[in-house]
Structure 1
């Protein structure tokens, strides 16, 4: 059996149906045959590229936006927490929408929301409107976040690793490009923050056009309809779902803390602001190639726990370096943190491997990302509180090391070969 078919159904040609108390199985349709799968893979990659610029392009310009819109400190704090909240809450609606409309049409709606929200908020007259339009864009991202593993499972079951790697790499590129170019692009365009933020709607428009074409093509070929069957399991009764949910939450916490606080850690150690920005860019850039490699490797292994352990060990080594000698080898610590943050594509791959059906993956993806992003909300705030109280990074880095250790053991448990259909 090819390595990329490790998640193949144990019960061929059946789809499960859940009643109030029992789970039964009904005949499933024949495997979907999609014409021009390379074009669908391209559409996935372009959509993934658009899943972070709405957030990453705002961070470097937040002070300017806040001053221009007379935004209060409380609203600014809410704005920084808004991505995790929206990813958690709106992501839970994705499976229901996908069952009713089909995943391709749902991603179309997601890309439309991203494009409209990013474009319209650049014209926002006040803080409240800016916040609402940001939430619209984030809602589109949340739905698409959840459905990326579903689309891969449904249309590329024989290429789960490589295609997951493709869109993970594209997502990482979108994040790093938006963060690196936000300020230079705004300066080059000479239009202030409104132009600098709104220009990212152009990339969203390209993704929307591709997905409109894909949705029409898949529906014409009979491959875009909602999947047969309903939920395979009561997801809250699955031990694997909970393990993955907390695992996802801890890796998201580590990633948000890194993006939010790493430059400050280096600056407090005497590194210049310019070099601190370069170090953060190194941390983010290393994720692009590894995000392509790790999913392919993970699908070839019966147990993904060892990969999770190696990534966590890199994170622990980085925290130790930042705690004891941050300025001694800053590029080494930045590189190690970048490797540790590649737990994200590993988690997405495990979501695809832990269910036999695309419907199951939809339920699992929504649950894991919903729980995970909710867990990640307080992390960066708590780190800031510890930093302010101590006027240093000792306690904060100890906390992150403890969370990384927990993440290591959760990854070992969640990486075991099993499917949620066997646990509910």
Structure 2
């Protein structure tokens, strides 16, 4: 994994100021080793966090029938349960930049992992549907803030490696998603058929993800990159100096590579970043009027429609196969295959997207795969189950593509943070009705014909807005300052 950090194709695009600052740091005792240690720890934290961003959902999808029976849920209530993830992502995701401003991005992600661990540990034993929903919401709150901050952290720390680092993050996310879908049912069977134990075991993975972020809790700026916080605000000079001091004591350090920085003397003095012109007293960067950007809206709607498809798939696809006569264990493996397609493609697609001036053709290719997969589910769900699962897995890779476009549609770290919060929060709001509506249609129609028709119909506007979001332009140019 660390080898990826040394072989990014855009290395030659690193600004001269970055190399100059790195050379300056190399003359300081312990500078390069401290930065290398911090970078490796940050990559580990990103990967472990990504592994935890979907098991709360796909582990439930694999055992949804058992959970419904155990808690006495109707199909409509189960549909509500599958709509809770996008609702929580929309509500809590918009809070992430503000929390990062106050506590630091590293501390917020660390707290998010703790919330995931706690929610997953208690929800199977909370008693009743209301307790199950409340504990699920706690875990999903932790997922929501991490979802929003990860693209900004990648942009801040790895500005010349957005494609590959987004790929690493997306691969970890896809791996965690597919792993939960594949092993939850077998583990539950091995534990005596207890769905509670099968769901609770994933809290252990979240506990492991807390550890790499602990060193970043003390250094508020440590996980925010050079000269800026991951929420998009520029650090005040005093805060920058304080962060620099905490880095030297082991909290972690990033080389300061802002334009205009120079080596001042052999004594090692550096200029601190200038405060943003919009509010020198608070050191905050001026914010865009993001709602004036057509690209931001296109990206938000694209994000929402792909999230709708993803959460319908994670929540209901295993049930579609089970109702077609596929055994529960095999249905879990089919869902795992769908999620596992994101492991290789989540690395390939972002790298390919960063090489293209327009990402629209990728959007269309993924959408066509989704339409074929839905047609197969409608016509022959059991006979061609493995083919449909594979095609829908390819279609679900619209998620890493959306994350990559978030990083490409803004020029700066602050712009990415603001665009990420807007696109994800708005997108998840858009995606809330989808899984709920599928549950209602399933219960009242008595089959999967109408729900699958709905899924197919939503794929068409997803392709249209994805094409618009893939155009080569930035939200800064459209929204103004």
TM over 0.5, yes or no? yes
How much does 1:327 deviate? 4.5
Do residues 415 (structure 1) and 417 (structure 2) align? no
Superposed, which structure 2 residues align to 1:41-120 within 5 Å? 41-65=43-67, 76-120=78-122
Going from structure 1 to structure 2, the CA distance change for 1:392 and 1:129 (only over 3 Å counts) comes to: closer
Contact preservation (8 Å) 2:153, 2:223: no
Going from structure 1 to structure 2, the CA distance change for 1:323 and 1:159 (only over 3 Å counts) comes to: same
Contact preservation (8 Å) 2:162, 2:407: yes
Going from structure 1 to structure 2, the CA distance change for 1:319 and 1:6 (only over 3 Å counts) comes to: farther
Query: 1:26 matched to which residue of 2?
Result: none
Query: 2:291 matched to which residue of 1?
Result: 236
How much does 1:282 deviate? 1.9
How much does 1:209 deviate? 1.0
How much does 1:74 deviate? 7.0
For residues 129 and 103 of structure 2, what CA distance do their matches in structure 1 show? Answer: 34
How much does 1:68 deviate? 5.1
What's the secondary structure of 2:410's corresponding residue? coil
Deviates more, 1:160-169 or 1:382-391: 382-391
Do residues 178 (structure 1) and 187 (structure 2) align? no
How much does 1:312 deviate? 0.8
Structure 1 runs of 4+ with >6 Å offset: 5-9, 70-74
Deviates more, 1:212-221 or 1:282-291: 212-221
Contact preservation (8 Å) 1:3, 1:299: no
For residues 454 and 65 of structure 2, what CA distance do their matches in structure 1 show? Answer: 28
Going from structure 1 to structure 2, the CA distance change for 1:7 and 1:112 (only over 3 Å counts) comes to: farther
Do residues 168 (structure 1) and 179 (structure 2) align? no
Largest Rg, 1 or 2: 2
Query: 1:364 matched to which residue of 2?
Result: 419
Query: 1:337 matched to which residue of 2?
Result: 392
Contact preservation (8 Å) 1:356, 1:419: yes
For residues 220 and 348 of structure 1, what CA distance do their matches in structure 2 show? Answer: 22
Contact preservation (8 Å) 2:178, 2:338: no
Contact preservation (8 Å) 1:271, 1:327: yes
Going from structure 1 to structure 2, the CA distance change for 1:329 and 1:231 (only over 3 Å counts) comes to: farther
Deviates more, 1:330-339 or 1:113-122: 113-122
Going from structure 1 to structure 2, the CA distance change for 1:164 and 1:126 (only over 3 Å counts) comes to: same
For residues 125 and 391 of structure 2, what CA distance do their matches in structure 1 show? Answer: 40
Between Structure 1 and Structure 2, how many residues are aligned? Answer: 401
Deviates more, 1:264-273 or 1:283-292: 264-273
Going from structure 1 to structure 2, the CA distance change for 1:64 and 1:203 (only over 3 Å counts) comes to: same
For residues 391 and 343 of structure 2, what CA distance do their matches in structure 1 show? Answer: 14
Going from structure 1 to structure 2, the CA distance change for 1:77 and 1:342 (only over 3 Å counts) comes to: closer
Deviates more, 1:315-324 or 1:176-185: 315-324
Query: 1:258 matched to which residue of 2?
Result: 313
Query: 2:152 matched to which residue of 1?
Result: 150
Going from structure 1 to structure 2, the CA distance change for 1:356 and 1:381 (only over 3 Å counts) comes to: same
Contact preservation (8 Å) 1:248, 1:369: yes
Query: 1:285 matched to which residue of 2?
Result: 340
RMSD: 3.1
How much does 1:128 deviate? 3.4
For residues 98 and 320 of structure 2, what CA distance do their matches in structure 1 show? Answer: 42
Deviates more, 1:284-293 or 1:72-81: 72-81
Query: 2:433 matched to which residue of 1?
Result: 378
Cα deviations across residues 241-267 of structure 1 (Å, max 9, x unaligned)? 110111011111112222333344445
TM-score of the aligned structures, taking structure 2 as reference length: 0.75
Listed as ranges, the gaps of 5+ residues in structure 2 are 1-7, 19-33, 235-283
How much does 1:47 deviate? 0.6
How much does 1:360 deviate? 1.7
Do residues 350 (structure 1) and 405 (structure 2) align? yes
Query: 1:27 matched to which residue of 2?
Result: none
How much does 1:357 deviate? 2.0
For residues 263 and 120 of structure 1, what CA distance do their matches in structure 2 show? Answer: 24
TM-score of the aligned structures, taking structure 1 as reference length: 0.84
Going from structure 1 to structure 2, the CA distance change for 1:358 and 1:288 (only over 3 Å counts) comes to: same
Going from structure 1 to structure 2, the CA distance change for 1:273 and 1:138 (only over 3 Å counts) comes to: closer
Among candidates 280, 294, 309, match of residue 349 of structure 2 = 294
